[in-house]
Amino acid sequence: MLLAVLPAMAELPSLSLQPIYKEIEIERPISVQIPNDNTDRKFLIEQTGKIKILPRDESSSDSSIFLDLSDSIQVEKDFEEGLLGLAFHPEYADNGKFYVTFSRQGPKRLVLAEFQVSAENANAANPDSERILLEVQQPEWNHNSGNVFFGPGDGLLYLCVGDGGMKNGVYMLSQKLTRWNGKVLRIDVDSRTASLPYGIPSDNPFVNEPNACPEIYAYGLRNPWGAAMDPDSGLFYLADVGQDLYEEINLIEKGGNYGWEIREATQKFHPRDAMLAALGRKPKPAEETGFIEPIHEYSRADGLSITGGYVYRGEAIPELQGHFLYGDWRFGNLWALYYSPDEGKVVANHHFEKPADLKAPTVQPTGFYPDENGEALVLDWRGGMFRIVPAD
């Protein structure tokens, strides 16, 4: 079990949230990405369908539209559907390829598509270059996830997918290796396996199991929101939104099972037994499943919906080095968590932003991302951006 109070590894300085880009209209931001092309351009992803290039001058009102998918994506409920993720190809400077996740309907699905930059304009995408790689059926509008990134070590594309929606894990898809829902998927966008529009990495954990989806890298997830692989340590952090009692942070391992819908964080998820009884089925004993426990969990006293981030490797706040930044979307609490690989546990969890009024938090975080200098940005669901800085 996890400790309720974690010892402090080192005191952080007081931190504050500095508003930036106040003159730019921002609508439901969910990600900031910087391509590896030596331009240091910041691309802002809005859930409403636009990808914007932000100006270098953070006081400027001058942004440009890189790609507008507002008329292409399809949304039933805009709370969790829409444009959900962006990842630039590691060789973007040479091939101009990037990958986005978004919602479409009829049938309801999460789409992973490849696009290319315009041949004439480096600051604009070619909207006609869409190549669909993968479509995940979504029974409901919620729990799409759609977090997507390239592994810094292997160059493979990782895609996080939610459990299909509703509540109580009612579709029971997260534990099924025959479905993509409730999983982390891993594919190779630079190769092809048989007739697939992508390649299956030969070391994916279930590639030799005939009844399993070979794309699956890890499973047993509910609604991942905030996944990042730290290039320095190689650790794969993933925040998973809970339901009734707990929010959790996991370290993802190849082939790992993280427990949902049998467990919520480290606790047994009791509604599942009632569902199985109604269906005339017996629950599988938890001790037989080999779940990987989260490295950290928090209760409803601290929040209702976790937003994961990334491991800080900037220089402006040396004491923050190696900490995983995360927060709670509803309450606006922000933390910096330090996991020690040597000790195999979390040794510090600094609570650096605690709103005085939970009904009016400074930020409702949808993401934490490094800027072009590695310094920490926080996105606000209500339409804003902040930089984490030492307090005056």
Q: What residues pair up with 237 in beta bridges, in sequence order?
A: 228, 251
Examine the pLDDT at 273 and tell me if it is beyond 90: no
End-to-end CA distance of the chain: 38
The predicted pLDDT at position 11 comes to: 83
Could you give the C-alpha distances from 319 to 8, 19, 83, 338, 367, in angstroms and in order? 12, 22, 35, 11, 21
pLDDT tens digits, residue range 284-313? 665 557 899 999 999 999 999 999 999 999
For residue 307, list its beta bridge partners: 327
pLDDT at residue 189 is higher than 80: yes
- Side-chain-side CA neighbours of 6 within 13 Å: the count stands at 23
**Which of 158 and 1 is assigned the larger pLDDT?**
158
Across the chain, mean pLDDT equals 94
Residues 6+ apart with CB under 8 A from 276: 282, 283
- 378, exposed or middle or buried, with CB in 10 Å at 0-12, 13-18, 19+? buried
Question: What is the spatial distance between Cα 98 and Cα 95, in angstroms, rounded to a whole number?
Answer: 9
DSSP string, 317-353: -GGGTTPEEEEETTT--EEEEEEETTTTEEEEEEEEE
pLDDT > 90: percent of the chain:
90
Q: Is 90 exceeded by the pLDDT of residue 282?
A: no
For the entire predicted model, the pTM comes to 0.95
CA pair distance 370, 86, nearest whole angstrom: 14
Contact 34, 42 (CB under 8 A): yes
Distance CA 256, CA 219 (A): 6
Of the candidates 367, 233, 205, 210, the one whose C-alpha atom is nearest the C-alpha of residue 292 is 205
**What are the residues facing 242 on neighbouring strands?**
none
Alpha-carbon dihedral 368, 234, 34, 110, rounded to 10 degrees:
-70
For the cut 90, the answer to whether the pLDDT of residue 277 exceeds it is: no
- Kindly state the average pLDDT of the residues 264-292: 81
Q: Does residue 1 have a pLDDT over 50? A: no
**Average pLDDT in the 119-132 region?**
97
- The stretch 268-292 carries a mean pLDDT of 79
Q: Which CATH superfamily is domain 15-390 in?
A: TolB, C-terminal domain (2.120.10.30)
For position 354, what pLDDT does the model report? Answer: 96
Is the model's pLDDT at 6 over the cut of 80?
no
Q: What percent of the chain has pLDDT over 70?
A: 96
- Residue 137 pLDDT grade (very low, low, confident, very high; cuts 50, 70, 90): very high
Quick one: which of 361, 379, 362 has its CA closest to 325?
Answer: 379
Give the tens place of pLDDT for each residue, 25-70. 999 999 999 999 999 999 999 999 999 999 999 999 999 999 999 9
CA distances from 91 to 108, 229, 333 (A): 32, 18, 36
Burial (CB < 10 A; 0-12, 13-18, 19+), residue 357, is exposed
pLDDT at 270 over 70: yes
Would you say residue 97 has pLDDT above 60?
A: yes
Sequence-distant (6+) residues with CB within 8 A of 184 are: 158, 159, 160, 161, 216, 217, 218, 219, 221, 224, 227, 238, 252
Angle at 105 between CA 103 and CA 106, to 5 degrees: 155
CA-based radius of gyration for the chain? 20
Categorize the per-residue pLDDT at 21 as very low, low, confident or very high, splitting at 50, 70 and 90.
very high
pLDDT for the residue numbered 358: 87
144-165 residue pLDDT tens: 999 999 999 999 999 999 999 9
Side chain identity, residue 191: S
Q: What is the pLDDT of residues 196-234, one digit of tens each?
A: 999 999 999 999 999 999 999 999 999 999 999 999 999
What are the residue boundaries of the structural domains of the chain, listed by start?
Answer: 15-390
Residue 392 CB coordination number (10 Å): 5
Can you give the pLDDT at residue 286?
A: 54
Residue 82 has pLDDT above 90, yes or no: yes
Per-residue pLDDT tens digits for 335-362 = 999 999 999 999 999 999 999 998 899 9
DSSP secondary structure, 195-244, as one string: TSSSBPPTT-TTTT-TTS-TTEEEE--S-EEEEEE-TTT--EEEEE--SS
Ranking 191-195, 263-267, 362-366, 385-389 by mean pLDDT, the lowest is: 263-267
Confidence of residue 7 (pLDDT cuts 50, 70, 90): very low
pLDDT-based confidence at residue 106 (cuts at 50, 70, 90): very high
Residues found in the chain: 392
Asked whether the beta carbons of 151 and 187 are under 8 A apart, the reply is: no
